[in-house]
Amino acid sequence: MSDSELSPLDQLKSKHNKEKKDLQAKITSLKHSIPKNDKKKKKEIMSTIEQMEGDLKAKHEVELKEFHSSLASLTISSNDSEVKTPSEQTTNNEQPINVEKRPTKAQKRREKKGQEMRRREEAALYDEQNAVFSQGKLETNAITQILQERSLRLVEIAPDGDCMYNALAYQINMELIVPV
């Protein structure tokens, strides 16, 4: 975008950013001009740098105040109501209306996380509804039916990393308890 396409506030902010960059370049060159062992010169230059930064900050604040005061004076009256600039739009006993508020990175991240959670919940619900006809469920039902015909049952063993050992231990204990 060229300067003519930017709003006056954006133009002022870009001007301020350019001035800050120029000041940073001056500060860097001043710091590099200090001899290594000259503490007195270093103190002088550091105080000069602080003065320059303070002056620039004060100048920017004054320019922003002037800009906002000039916006306040540009209110236009219509037939029934008064139209104000976006930064001043208020209704009786209400807070100012934010015209264009961009979401922060954290808000975007939270929204993305929320969308992902909703997608997962929908997928889980879909899986739960279709679980009756899933291949695993059909196989489990067929195995259970065969085991019932043989007077056996299916025992669930917790998958904790020792499940093979636990399954064997269960079988051994069952043989000890119920003689064949």
The average pLDDT across 144-151 equals 93
- b/e string for 16-52 if b means 16 or more Cβ within 10 A? beeeeeebeeebeeeeeeeeeeeeeeeeebeeeeeee
* Selected residue with higher pLDDT from 11 and 80: 11
Average pLDDT over residues 71-92: 51
- Average pLDDT score, the chain: 81
